[in-house]
């Protein structure tokens, strides 16, 4: 490991790429501490301490939301736009053709549409956050100009982070958007860990339980993230112009967790929506509306109900998103076009049915795993009686996934340099 680190920093080009990524992360952290001066920060801090869901969301922005900074939304709107665009490929065949069949040019056009969609989503989410804080008395009455300036600043911050993320991705050291989320989580963990340690001070069993649970979570995340089912694929031997092609055997990797973090993010966005909307109407003059809003708010603050619904949504969205990113019929057709086949399985529809059957089985394990990871904080609290657990399953999944992806990309670049030197 030490030799690999030395090799990385001896390579000037690779070293400069890592320094560039580090500088971008520093810029992100600086922006997360530049506030928009329209709020009462004492009341804002109190709100995030009382509301566990808002505190969880702030963790993903490195405290940017809690500071009401220029990048308070992080890259959330961009991720939402990406999810919406991928869902739209199921509705509009032309969009699916651009995404899957038009090559690099089509992907660039698809990404450009995603960027365009990010801007209104960032403005809408910024307005929703301002409206929420105003309903809590944290923001006073704003003029039209002040409101427009605040929304524009928040949207611009998201667009700037999106641009930084794409610059990082071009360096091939890791996915830029994932690294920004990673930086937000890592910088927020020390404060959460300190609060947790203060809570469990003097409680030996709770400390042991937290350490053991942390190790189990990290190991299981690494195992599931790397786990895959290899489907054997053979290619028929073809003779053209006196030359022989094909006749080789390889495999088609089907990942246990093909959906990554998307189901958790999607489910989180959906499950937060009713509670946030209800909080807008808690103090409504109409008593019936106010009482209904209080009931909905309290229902979604109930950990048993919230955790159960969260698990179910993550489980269902895992299957849903996997069906988007992996189409067995399309894969079977491509194999058949290139003379490939799965041994003992007829090409075409039979191969598609076989791949679909295998994918459904391994996705069940992935969906179950993601569901458990999503509700891990609730399980941890029940096991340790600590309400400020620093263990967030979703956070661990992102951190481990980003680290593994970055290591793979760096290893790939080192391998390419080894070939160049031969």
**Whether residues 190 and 102 fall in one domain:** yes
- CA distance from start to end of the chain: 23
Each residue of 360-409: pLDDT tens digit? 999 999 899 888 888 877 777 666 665 555 445 667 777 887 888 888 88
- Listed residues 199, 222, 252: the one ending a domain: 199
CB-CB contact of 68 with 32 (8 Å): no
Each residue of 114-137: pLDDT tens digit? 999 999 999 988 888 887 777 777
**Whether residues 253 and 358 fall in one domain:** yes
Confidence of residue 345 (pLDDT cuts 50, 70, 90): confident
CB-CB contact of 68 with 36 (8 Å): yes
Mean pLDDT of 263-273: 75
Report the predicted TM-score, pTM, of the whole model to 2 decimal places: 0.77
Please give the backbone phi and psi of residue 66, each rounded to the nearest 5 degrees, phi first.
Answer: -65, -30
Given a cut of 60, is residue 244 above it in pLDDT?
A: no
CATH of the domain at 46: 1.10.3370.10
- Asked whether residue 2 is assigned to any structural domain, the reply reads no
More confident residue, 202 or 214: 214
Q: What pLDDT shows up at residue 315?
A: 92
Given a cut of 70, is residue 267 above it in pLDDT?
A: yes
**Whether residues 296 and 419 fall in one domain:** yes
Given a cut of 80, is residue 233 above it in pLDDT?
A: yes
**Whether residues 270 and 412 fall in one domain:** yes
The closest of 156, 169, 161, 174 to 107, measured between CA atoms, is 169
The average confidence (pLDDT) of the chain is 79
- Asked whether residue 48 is assigned to any structural domain, the reply reads yes
State the Cα–Cα distance between residues 78 and 265, nearest whole angstrom: 12
- Asked whether residue 87 is assigned to any structural domain, the reply reads yes
Each residue of 274-326: pLDDT tens digit? 776 776 677 777 888 888 888 887 887 777 888 888 899 889 989 888 887 78
State the Cα–Cα distance between residues 352 and 349, nearest whole angstrom: 5
- Asked whether residue 4 is assigned to any structural domain, the reply reads no
Please give the backbone phi and psi of residue 326, each rounded to the nearest 5 degrees, phi first.
Answer: -135, 110
**Whether residues 150 and 59 fall in one domain:** yes
- Listed residues 138, 172, 199: the one ending a domain: 199
**Whether residues 243 and 174 fall in one domain:** no
- Asked whether residue 10 is assigned to any structural domain, the reply reads no
Helix 262-280, helix 287-301: angle, nearest 10: 150
Mean pLDDT of 144-159: 89
- Asked whether residue 3 is assigned to any structural domain, the reply reads no
**Structure token digits, residue 295:** 């009931």
**Whether residues 109 and 38 fall in one domain:** yes
Confidence of residue 421 (pLDDT cuts 50, 70, 90): low
Contacts of 331 (CB under 8 A, 6+ apart): 252, 352, 355
Angle, alpha carbons 308-313-315 (nearest 5°): 95
The closest of 42, 76, 51 to 62, measured between CA atoms, is 76
Three-class SS state of 340:
strand
**In whole angstroms, how far apart are CA 4 and each of 268, 269, 373?**
38, 40, 32
**Whether residues 324 and 366 fall in one domain:** yes
State the Cα–Cα distance between residues 151 and 129, nearest whole angstrom: 10
Share of the chain above pLDDT 70, in %: 81
- Asked whether residue 9 is assigned to any structural domain, the reply reads no
What domain range is 109 assigned to?
16-199
**Whether residues 282 and 358 fall in one domain:** yes
Please give the backbone phi and psi of residue 139, each rounded to the nearest 5 degrees, phi first.
Answer: -115, 135
**Whether residues 183 and 318 fall in one domain:** no
Each residue of 84-94: pLDDT tens digit? 887 787 777 77
Tell me how many helices (H) and strands (E) the chain has: 17, 5
Mean pLDDT of 220-248: 74
State the Cα–Cα distance between residues 201 and 208, nearest whole angstrom: 12
Across-strand partners of 229? 254
Helix 393-421, helix 176-199: angle, nearest 10: 140
Q: What pLDDT shows up at residue 390?
A: 44
State the Cα–Cα distance between residues 37 and 368, nearest whole angstrom: 44
Q: Where are the alpha helices (DSSP H) in 89-143?
A: 93-101, 103-135
**In whole angstroms, how far apart are CA 52 and each of 61, 189, 195, 300, 334?**
15, 15, 14, 12, 47
Please give the backbone phi and psi of residue 143, each rounded to the nearest 5 degrees, phi first.
Answer: -75, 165
Contacts of 213 (CB under 8 A, 6+ apart): 380, 383, 384, 391
Given a cut of 70, is residue 206 above it in pLDDT?
A: no
Q: What pLDDT shows up at residue 197?
A: 67
Range with top average pLDDT, 10-19, 99-108, 160-169, 321-330: 160-169
Least confident of 98-102, 224-228, 399-403: 98-102
- Asked whether residue 6 is assigned to any structural domain, the reply reads no
**Whether residues 195 and 278 fall in one domain:** no
**Whether residues 275 and 402 fall in one domain:** yes
Q: Domains in the chain: how many in total?
A: 2
Each residue of 31-51: pLDDT tens digit? 888 888 777 777 777 777 666
Q: What pLDDT shows up at residue 159?
A: 93
Helix 103-135, helix 144-170: angle, nearest 10: 140
State the Cα–Cα distance between residues 86 and 327, nearest whole angstrom: 13
- Listed residues 199, 219, 250: the one ending a domain: 199
């Amino acid at each position: 490991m030490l030799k690999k680190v030395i090799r990385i920093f001896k390579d000037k080009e690779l070293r400069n790429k890592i320094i560039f990524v580090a500088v971008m992360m520093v810029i992100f952290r600086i922006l997360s501490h530049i506030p928009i001066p329209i709020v009462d920060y004492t009341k804002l801090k109190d709100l995030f301490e009382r509301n566990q869901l808002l505190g969880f969301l702030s963790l993903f922005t490195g405290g940017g939301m809690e500071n009401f900074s220029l990048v308070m939304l992080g890259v959330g709107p961009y991720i939402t736009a990406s999810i919406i665009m991928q869902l739209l490929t199921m509705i509009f065949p032309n969009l699916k053709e651009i995404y899957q069949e038009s090559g690099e040019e089509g992907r660039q056009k698809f990404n450009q549409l995603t960027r365009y969609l990010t801007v209104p989503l960032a403005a809408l989410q910024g307005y929703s956050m301002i409206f929420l804080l105003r309903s809590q008395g944290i923001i006073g009455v704003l003029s039209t100009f002040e409101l427009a300036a605040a929304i524009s600043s928040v949207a611009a911050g998201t667009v700037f982070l999106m641009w930084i993320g794409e610059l990082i991705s071009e360096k091939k050291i890791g996915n830029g958007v994932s690294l920004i989320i990673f930086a937000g989580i890592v910088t927020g963990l020390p404060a959460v860990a300190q609060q947790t340690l203060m809570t469990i001070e003097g409680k030996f069993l709770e400390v042991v339980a937290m350490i053991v649970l942390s190790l189990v979570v990290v190991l299981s995340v690494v195992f599931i993230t790397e786990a895959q089912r290899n489907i054997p694929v053979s290619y028929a031997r073809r003779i053209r112009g006196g030359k022989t092609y094909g006749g080789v055997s390889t495999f088609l990797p089907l990942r246990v967790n093909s959906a990554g973090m998307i189901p958790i993010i999607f489910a989180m966005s959906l499950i937060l929506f009713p509670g946030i909307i209800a909080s807008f109407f808690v103090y409504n003059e109409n008593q019936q509306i106010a009482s209904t809003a209080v009931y909905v708010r309290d229902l979604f603050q109930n950990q048993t109900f919230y955790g159960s619904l969260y698990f179910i949504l993550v489980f269902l969205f895992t299957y849903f998103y996997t069906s988007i990113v992996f189409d067995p019929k399309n894969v079977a057709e491509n194999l058949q076009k290139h003379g490939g086949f799965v041994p003992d399985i007829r090409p075409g529809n039979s191969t598609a049915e076989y791949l679909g059957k295998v994918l459904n089985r391994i996705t069940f394990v992935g969906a179950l795993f993601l569901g458990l990871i999503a509700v891990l904080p609730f399980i941890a609290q029940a096991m340790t009686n600590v309400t400020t657990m620093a263990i967030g399953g979703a956070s661990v999944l992102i951190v481990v996934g980003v680290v593994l992806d970055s290591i793979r990309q760096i290893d790939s670049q080192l391998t390419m340099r080894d070939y160049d030197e031969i």
